[in-house]
């Protein structure tokens, strides 16, 4: 390994060692504080996870980068496992944040959903998929934000995410949207979509918790 590669690998390992909880929440405020602000390997670590997520979804560019997180109002939930040698390995990410969405129901009525909580990126390393890691990460997100899975919008969900939501939360029915966000029928409480303004659920304030 060349000297600069070794230097980077050491930085990533040092950053990984700081993920001491099973689920850690990072946002712009947390990234300005210790220990995250001082970690030279954190960009490589998070951007690497973001690239792996993009590759798994067949995307050309990563949805999750640390520089984007530093500049915005999104939260990144990072799942960390402990390897047999005792080292810590961040292997999953879930990025969420608010967006203003327009939703059309099957009859053509629409609603504006300002400040809607959305799942923007979700990934578990291939070697750990289908072992309940995603479910634990997702449950930690819902608990931290006092949200229900049906109250969240999903940005262009992959077949695996659709299967995940059906399995763990019984969510299956939605009207396809041009913007490719999925909002399940349960979001509307079973009522037909008729209102043209956002409802109370959609206006629920976001609660960003600190880093665990």
Q: Which residues bind ligand ACO (CB under 6 A)?
A: 56-57, 119, 121-124, 129-135, 154-158, 160-161, 163-164, 167
Question: To the nearest whole angstrom, how small is the minimum distance from the Cβ of residue 136 to ligand ACO?
Answer: 7
Question: To the nearest whole angstrom, how small is the minimum distance from the Cβ of residue 119 to ligand ACO?
Answer: 5
Return the number of the residue (8 or 168) whose C-beta is nearest ligand ACO: 168
Do the Cβ atoms of 80 and 90 come closer than 8 Å?
A: yes
Question: To the nearest whole angstrom, how small is the minimum distance from the Cβ of residue 79 to ligand ACO?
Answer: 9
In the bound state, the residue with its beta carbon closest to ligand ACO is 134
Return the number of the residue (40 or 130) whose C-beta is nearest ligand ACO: 130
Return the number of the residue (155 or 185) whose C-beta is nearest ligand ACO: 155
Question: To the nearest whole angstrom, how small is the minimum distance from the Cβ of residue 12 to ligand ACO?
Answer: 20
Question: To the nearest whole angstrom, how small is the minimum distance from the Cβ of residue 24 to ligand ACO?
Answer: 17
DSSP string, the chain: --HHHHHHHHHHHHHHTT--SSEEEE-HHHHTSTTGGG-TTHHHHHHHHHHHHHHHHT-SS-S--HHHHHHSS-EEEEEEEE-TTS-EEEEEEEEEEEEEEEEE-TTS-EEEEEEEEEEEEEEE-GGGTTTTHHHHHHHHHHHHTT--GGGSEEES--HHHHHHHHHHH----B---TT-EE-BGGGGTT-----SS--TTTTPPP------
Return the number of the residue (154 or 184) whose C-beta is nearest ligand ACO: 154
Tokens standing for residue 15: 């950053």
Return the number of the residue (14 or 133) whose C-beta is nearest ligand ACO: 133
Do the Cβ atoms of 188 and 173 come closer than 8 Å?
A: no
Question: To the nearest whole angstrom, how small is the minimum distance from the Cβ of residue 113 to ligand ACO?
Answer: 16
Return the number of the residue (31 or 52) whose C-beta is nearest ligand ACO: 52
């Amino acid at each position: 390994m060349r000297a600069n590669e070794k230097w980077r690998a050491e930085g990533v390992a040092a950053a990984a060692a700081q993920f001491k909880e099973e689920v850690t929440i990072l946002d712009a405020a947390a990234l300005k504080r210790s220990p995250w602000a001082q970690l030279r390997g954190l960009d490589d670590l998070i951007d690497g996870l973001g690239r792996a997520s993009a590759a798994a979804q067949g995307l050309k560019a990563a949805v999750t980068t640390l520089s984007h997180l530093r500049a915005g109002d999104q939260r990144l939930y990072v799942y960390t496992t402990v390897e047999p040698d005792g080292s810590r390995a961040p292997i999953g990410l879930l990025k969420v944040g608010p967006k203003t969405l327009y939703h059309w129901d099957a009859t053509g009525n629409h609603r504006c959903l300002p400040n809607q909580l959305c799942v923007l990126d979700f990934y578990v390393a291939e070697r750990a998929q289908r072992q309940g890691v995603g479910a634990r990460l997702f449950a930690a997100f819902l608990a931290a934000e006092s949200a229900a899975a049906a109250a969240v919008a999903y940005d262009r969900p992959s077949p695996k995410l659709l299967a995940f939501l059906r399995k763990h939360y019984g969510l299956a029915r939605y009207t396809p949207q041009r913007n490719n966000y999925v909002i399940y029928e349960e979001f509307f409480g079973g009522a037909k979509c008729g209102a043209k303004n956002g409802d109370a659920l959609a206006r629920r304030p976001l609660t960003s918790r600190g880093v665990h």
